[in-house]
Amino acid sequence: MLVCSSGGHLIQLHQLQPWWSKHERKWVTFDLPDSRSLLEGEDVAWAHFPTTRNLRNTVRNLILAARMVPRFRPDVVVSDGAGVAFPFFIVARIMRVPTVYLEVYDRIDSPTLTGKLCRPFTSLFVVQWEEQRKFYPGARVIGGLF
């Protein structure tokens, strides 16, 4: 299961196509023009938008996650943020589904809020720059996707 916001977050996860294209997958993102275009032909569930500090939509996405994760039973939940990731990581952790969080490439000088929130629920936390490890000790550096 690939969970992310639209825009740059979606583009980053889409860069992993050589990996995810080999697997059955379910996407969770926002119903916006860029998502519809980029994920045409993919199995997509539309999350509730906006999520930035929006408690109502966080709860709605938690309900969505509580319905989807048990139904789809993913082998792993992968996300690079933003806010939509958090409810899915909580549900995945409760269900003992492994989670992988990829910190975004453009946050070298500070951690993201979603990265900080998801970290306790993450099986594998990866960063794209060595400098990001100062905010996330023990994270695995994988290098830039772009």
Going along the chain from its start, the domains and CATH numbers come out as: 2-141 (3.40.50.2000)
Residues 6+ apart with CB under 8 A from 91: 62, 65, 66, 69
Tokens at residue 42, please? 């993919």
pTM confidence score: 0.93
Segment 36-67, tens digit of pLDDT: 999 999 999 999 998 878 899 999 999 999 99
Q: Between the CA of residue 128 and those of 17, 69, 113, 145, 146, what are the distances in Å? A: 17, 27, 17, 7, 10
Which stretch of DSSP H or E encloses residue 60?
Answer: helix 55-72
Segment 66-122, tens digit of pLDDT: 999 999 999 999 999 899 999 999 999 999 999 999 999 888 899 999 999 999 999
CB 1 within 8 A of CB 83: no
